[in-house]
């Protein structure tokens, strides 16, 4: 039997005695290691197949432990895509292509060119591009741990093909990890709550694919009405939204706490001329977009005491988690079911440190928020809704 040892791979980065992995890391059982060796016995690239197999089995175990309702993962008859030596699995109508890497590969991951095509080769259906996520797992064999580094929709990576470096000899693309969402909880959320795209989409028209994916993503609803009762719904909890007791002071306390930060944000909000009532409730969400660590504040409140067609308001403030300012060119769009209501971009000639916007609608209306960087990396959040009597 082949014996593989990551300790003797040449150039492999070792963890020092002072380095630790995040608590989200996953322990590798002896069974996973043995199965991975068996998977890679007859592969043309045994080393990469071995890493991919560990990553594949790790994701299977992670799904089983984190969401038993997703435990009915359908393994293909041949769990290795022979053309690309990559393992994949099916979950609730979605396909996960799982790629393993070592820390030695730094902030890049090599993905076979056959995988990053506008339409992934598959005999099962023509909707593969719309229903596929690529998941990256980092392997630390010397301490028997694995870490889910991030995931991306196949469509998102395809949009960046022209900008990626291609190794013609190996027939792979070098993809920066900044193109992947590092919040694995979000992947779990999508698999639990999203429905696969059913209609066949022509892969030669990426605009149509992106629009279909966008509509699909907004099937997720974030019920901000529960914030008035100091509660978060399941989706908000999964995405680690944090409630703030009152809307004004805690903008600053949830940031870096300096008084100047609080005053800056309050002055920015004041420029909106928004009349924010005392009963308003706020929450914030930390996330990574590309190589930027951003923070979005949302404040909601009911408008007046109208019993007929009552209205609600949503105030959004986008900033940075650290002292670094958000980059010029960052864009925030808010839309309802019919049209784009707000489309704001941070311009180089402005002194603004934040993007902010306020929208109002009837309580049966929902608002979709998307945030993008100049590089084209974009995140669409679950739709904001306001159902205070949902409980």
Of the chain, the end-to-end C-alpha distance in Å amounts to: 58
Edge-first strand listing for the sheet containing 165-167: 108-112, 172-176, 165-167
**CB-based contacts of 16, cutoff 8 Å, min separation 6:** none
Q: What is the pLDDT of residue 107?
A: 85
What SS3 class is residue 307?
A: coil
pLDDT of residue 11: 35
pLDDT in tens, 190-223: 887 777 765 444 444 444 434 434 435 546 889 9
**How far is Cα 138 from Cα 5, in angstroms, rounded to an integer?**
15
Beta bridge partners of 380: 370
Comparing CA positions, the residue from 134, 163, 139 lying closest to residue 15 is 139
Residue 369: the pLDDT is: 92
- Domain at 221-385: CATH architecture: Sandwich (2.60)
Q: What is the pLDDT of residue 386?
A: 95
- Each of the 391 residues of the chain gets a pLDDT tens digit; together they read 333 433 333 333 444 444 566 667 889 999 999 999 988 888 888 898 899 999 999 998 888 877 766 644 545 444 444 434 457 888 888 889 999 999 876 789 999 898 887 654 444 433 456 688 999 999 998 888 999 999 998 888 888 888 899 988 888 999 999 899 887 878 887 887 777 765 444 444 444 434 434 435 546 889 999 999 999 998 898 888 988 876 544 444 444 543 344 445 655 565 655 677 888 888 889 888 877 889 898 989 998 766 677 899 999 989 888 766 788 899 999 998 888 899 999 988 877 778 888 999 999 899 989 898 887 777 888 899 999 886 6
| Six token digits for residue 111 | 């993905």
- What does each C-alpha distance from 346 to 321, 351, 368 come to in angstroms? 17, 9, 19
6-212 and 221-385 in the same fold = no
Q: What is the pLDDT of residue 276?
A: 78
Q: pTM of the predicted model, to two decimals?
A: 0.62
Query: CA-CA distance, 54 to 139, in Å (whole number)?
Result: 8
320 three-state secondary structure: strand
DSSP symbol at 310: -
pLDDT of residue 305: 67
Retrieve residue 307's tokens.
């019993």
CB neighbour class for 35 (10 Å; exposed up to 12, middle 13-18, buried from 19): middle
Q: Give the side-chain half-sphere CA count within 13 A for 117.
A: 13
Does residue 130 sit in helix, strand or coil? Answer: helix
Instruction: Specify the CATH architecture of the domain 6-212.
Output: 3-Layer(aba) Sandwich (3.40)
Break the chain into its structural domains and give their ranges.
6-212, 221-385
């Amino acid at each position: 039997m082949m014996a593989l040892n990551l300790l003797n791979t040449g150039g492999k980065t070792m963890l020092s005695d002072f380095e630790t992995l995040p608590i989200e890391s996953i322990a590798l059982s002896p069974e996973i290691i043995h199965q991975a060796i068996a998977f890679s016995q007859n592969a043309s690239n045994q080393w990469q197949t071995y890493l991919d197999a560990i990553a594949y089995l790790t994701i299977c175990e992670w799904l089983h432990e984190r969401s038993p309702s997703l435990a009915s993962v359908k393994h293909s008859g041949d769990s290795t895509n022979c053309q690309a030596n990559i393992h994949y699995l099916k979950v609730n109508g979605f396909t996960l292509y799982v790629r393993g890497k070592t820390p030695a590969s730094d902030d890049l991951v090599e993905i076979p060119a056959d995988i990053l095509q506008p339409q992934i080769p598959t005999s099962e259906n023509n909707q593969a591009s719309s229903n596929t996520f690529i998941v990256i797992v980092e392997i630390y064999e010397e301490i028997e741990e694995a870490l889910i580094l991030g995931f991306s929709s196949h469509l998102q990576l395809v949009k960046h093909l022209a900008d990626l470096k291609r190794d013609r000899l190996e027939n792979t693309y070098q993809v920066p990890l900044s193109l992947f969402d590092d919040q694995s909880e979000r992947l779990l959320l999508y698999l639990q709550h999203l429905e696969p795209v059913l209609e066949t989409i022509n892969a030669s028209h990426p605009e149509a694919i992106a629009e279909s994916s966008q509509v699909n993503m907004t099937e997720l609803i974030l019920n901000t009405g529960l914030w008035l009762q100091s509660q978060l719904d399941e989706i908000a909890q999964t995405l680690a939204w944090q409630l703030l007791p009152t809307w004004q002071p805690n903008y600053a306390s949830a940031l870096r706490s300096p008084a100047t930060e609080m005053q800056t944000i309050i002055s920015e909000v004041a420029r909106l001329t928004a009349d924010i009532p005392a009963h308003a409730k706020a929450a914030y969400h930390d996330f990574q977009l590309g190589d930027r660590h951003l923070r979005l504040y949302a404040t909601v409140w009911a408008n007046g005491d109208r019993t007929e067609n009552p209205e609600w308001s949503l105030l959004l403030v986008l900033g940075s988690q650290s002292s670094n300012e958000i980059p010029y060119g960052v864009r925030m769009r808010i839309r309802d079911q019919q049209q784009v209501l707000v489309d704001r971009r941070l311009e180089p000639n402005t002194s603004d440190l934040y993007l902010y916007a306020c929208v109002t609608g009837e309580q049966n209306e929902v608002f979709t928020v998307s945030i993008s960087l100049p590089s084209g990396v974009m995140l669409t959040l679950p739709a904001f809704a306001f159902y205070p009597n949902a409980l």
